[in-house]
Structure 1
Amino acid sequence: MPQVVRKDVDNLNAELTVTIEKKDYESKFVEELKKYRQQASMKGFRKGKTPMSVLKKMYGNSVLSNIVYDILNNELDTFLKEEKIAILGQPIPSEDTPEVSIDVKSMDDMVFKFDLGLAPDLEIKGFNKNKKFTRYVPTVSDEKVQGDIDNALKQLGDRETITEDIQETDSLKVSVKELDGKKVKEEGISSQFTVLVDKLTKKAKKQMLTKKAGDAFKVNIFDLEDGLEESQVKKYFLNIEDENAEVGKDFELTVDEVTRVTPMEFNEDFFNKYFGENVVADEKEATEKFKEPVLNHYKNHSEALLFRDFQDHLMGKNEMELPEVFLRRWLLMSNEELTEEQLDGEFDAFKENLKWDIIKGKIVKENDIQITSEEIVANAQGKIMGYFGGTPLPPDMMKDMTDRMLNDQNSLRQIQEEVISNKLYDVLETKFSYNEKEVTTDKMDDIIEKAREKAQK
């Protein structure tokens, strides 16, 4: 039977020596060759009658290698589980491991040495009911809710093509052609796109409101829609992906089509079309329905900000050392495309993420946080409904989309992490106290943006 011996180098590093004797693999090797013999169909021999010496010569080393490494991996996995060794990354061959020759001509005992990076033994510190965090309580203004209602009324309103003067609420399909002086440039840039009049810059809007469908006039393409960066104008208006491409500012713009929407009335007919038959009864319920997703959106951001504060606090209270030399070797060995230079630039961020994973894992284990398949499905279906604006989907369609999402391993892992994080948040929330602070959604947007900028530094 193979032997595994552990030697601790220090608190964060250990070595495992795995000895596989000839008797551990020889019989398995013979059995595997016999299986090959039963299936082999080689010229000059009847099926199943190929001499073992021939098979050994042709397939022996490959078969032996597979058997030895299967035994080796099984012994490592079993030892780590039975000894309950918490490791970081995966075992990697020691730099002084003996050279092993896997050759059927010289089958003998084999010795393998591996380095382990050990997870630090951590006792979580920092939980304190006297520690107070700020919990933002978002408030949604009537104006913001009304804005969403107005957009929905337009979305389901009647559309008509207009030939008279353009109004501020109109949507325009326009064509643009690059100018060279006063003339259209030969082989210059041309494009067609849609803009909303109320999104234009003050200067462009004033000019547009004097026009109608079919009119053509000169514009500064980079001063057409308010709030767009030069790169966005190139990409979305001119279909140019290269941010550094040289583009003149002067274009001839032609108004190809003017579309005007007559919004629906905020009444039962609209409620049934937007929410479904008999889902809401009156204006008050409908207004609350519009308010609810906005409030939930900002509540989720508020919880995310609070979770980040928990994380920063616990990271500060639980300093730890890591087996950095081992981790660097493991990262380089497990990713052949990673260079030393790249690793130097990314290693600090990797360490911080790993430290939080260790803290998180310890809290999850101590609080017996587990997730169920029902919770995973519920999370996936919540995401899917979000894609459709919260509108309920037919059961068959929901099942099909849920199955596809959960069959994607990346999506499944992300959902599992979210469910665990949500449960972890619930646990952490009980460990501290809070000062609640009401903020408007506009103020929340500013707070969220500052948090993003901080995270990117």
Structure 2
Amino acid sequence: MNITREQVDALNAIVTVAVTKEDYADKVQKVLADYRKNANIPGFRKGAVPMSLIQKQYGKAVLLDEVNKILQASLNDYLVEEKLDILGNPLPKVTEDFDWNKDDFTFEFELGLAPEFAVDLDAKSNVTKFDIVADDKMLDEQVERIQKQYGKMISQDKVEEDHTLRGTFSNEEKGIHNTTTITLDIFNDKKTAKKFVGKKVGDVVSLETKGLFDDDHKLMDYLKVSHDDVHGLDITVDFTIEEINAVEKAELNQELFDKLFGEGNVTSVEELKAKIKEDAEAQFAQQADQKFLNDVIESLIDNTKFDLPAVFLKKWIQTVGENPLSTEQAEEEYAKSEKGLRYQLIENKIIASNNLQIQFEDLKAHTAELIKKQMAQFGQLNPTDEEVDGIVARVLSNQEEVKRLSEQVMSEKMLSLFKEKIKAKSKKVNYQEFIKEMYGE
């Protein structure tokens, strides 16, 4: 057997595999001999079928199978030995007049090669790292929300401006059906709020979504529609009133503080606000980190320039699925996947250059931390190491979980590296300002 490579250009190559009779003859004969031992053909005793008959009946199929096995093994070994970084899989070149009746065969495979490029994390960037603060307005709103949440609900016959309503937003055409609790101050104008005043349980209030709230993103919460749908959404939704309640707010006293945070941990409104601020900003930091990570990724994709073997990849996409794709379909799939492929190559380069490979101990530690947090939510604040290790072992026995958790660990490693390396601008914002920055508004 002989394997040679022709370098078409920096991103494409053709590998030629020459298979001779010596490479496959013994293997084919061995398989046919096994067939002969077990063949049940009328007119012949088992094991006594003439080899010529076995050859005639099974010879071509066995030849094709054994040559294919040799091809796959030798090609894989060649790619490893030559350290070729390929994209997709080798594509066999179709030969119209290929003759399986010959003794020796020649096969050609097209290769798409990964490009050579460098990733400069130290370059100047236009990425912004947001620091989200819980401002006084938010803290006051959260305190009031807590007072209402732990207050006394008093059922009412008719709606008044300060009442809390439970009901369902619906629009059959858009598939909207979301049950939620609202207060009338959520609406963008008083005219909308007045539509509810005087209504009773069972009444339906029709509302126009355009300009319904001061921020269209609130439609995501109250109507449960996607972000892509909220902008410019101009439909009529019905709100069916199911409960009407007046809320007698809970007093801001030690009893409430103890109920919220445990006995003696918070003793004043100032400490309550400080605790709310701490918890809120910890959550905001996670959201800011995710945006920072996403923005860095987008910046790297935009600013790390390299070519891809696009023609090869489109041909490969046509063949890789269960059903072959047309040229047009492959073009569409390539357009959808190109950005993801580019980042995959960039990420691999960053991982190799900065030694970010995931160790099993990293995976175990990350999983253990997640489990401890989950156990704490259910009141198990001090689990033993044995308990945690047992759960970790069970979780990591599931390959799907291992894949999911590995992606989380790598995301954390990349985030830490980006925070260290990327020259990002810092900007302090409140949460509403961050939401506008998040969605480009």
Deviations 1:307-364 (A, max 9, x none): 4554455556542222222222222222446443344456456444433333332222
Name the SS of the counterpart of 1:430 in structure 2. helix
Name the counterpart of 1:170: 164
Give the letter for the 1:26 counterpart.
A
Distance apart, 1:116 and its partner CA: 0.9
2:289 is the alignment partner of 1:303: yes
**Percent identity at matched positions?**
26
Equivalent residues in 2 for 1:313-352, closer than 5 Å: 314-315=300-301, 318-335=304-321, 336=323, 338-345=325-332, 347=334, 350-352=337-339
Partners of 1:148 and 1:406 in 2: how far apart? 42
Corresponding residue to 1:108 among 90, 103, 111: 103
Distance apart, 1:442 and its partner CA: 1.7
- The total of aligned residue pairs comes to 415
Q: Is the 8 A contact 1:268 1:281 kept in 2?
A: no
Name the SS of the counterpart of 2:421 in structure 1. coil
Name the counterpart of 1:139: 133
Corresponding residue to 2:412 among 422, 433, 436: 422
Name the counterpart of 1:83: 82
Indicate how the Cα distance of structure 1 residues 258 and 362 shifts in structure 2: closer, same or farther if over 3 A, else same: same
Indicate how the Cα distance of structure 1 residues 213 and 19 shifts in structure 2: closer, same or farther if over 3 A, else same: same
Distance apart, 1:84 and its partner CA: 0.8
Name the counterpart of 1:371: 358
TM (normalized to structure 1)? 0.69
User: 63-72 or 220-229: which moved more?
Assistant: 220-229
Distance apart, 1:448 and its partner CA: 0.9
2:435 is the alignment partner of 1:445: yes
Distance apart, 1:115 and its partner CA: 0.8
Q: Is the 8 A contact 1:138 1:298 kept in 2?
A: yes
Distance apart, 1:400 and its partner CA: 7.1
2:275 is the alignment partner of 1:282: no
CA RMSD of aligned residues (A): 4.9
Deviations 1:374-431 (A, max 9, x none): 4445656777899x8983576789987996798474x654543443243233334433
Equivalent residues in 2 for 1:115-194, closer than 5 Å: 115-125=110-120, 127-128=122-123, 134-148=128-142, 150-151=144-145, 161-163=155-157, 168-173=162-167
TM (normalized to structure 2)? 0.71
Deviations 1:25-76 (A, max 9, x none): 3333344455556776777777777766666555555544443323222222
Give the letter for the 1:211 counterpart.
K
Partners of 2:137 and 2:377 in 1: how far apart? 23
Give the letter for the 1:67 counterpart.
E
Indicate how the Cα distance of structure 1 residues 123 and 176 shifts in structure 2: closer, same or farther if over 3 A, else same: closer
User: 336-345 or 2-11: which moved more?
Assistant: 336-345
Partners of 2:416 and 2:284 in 1: how far apart? 18
User: 15-24 or 196-205: which moved more?
Assistant: 196-205
Partners of 2:109 and 2:135 in 1: how far apart? 61
Structure 2: runs of 5 or more not aligned: 225-234
Name the counterpart of 2:341: 354
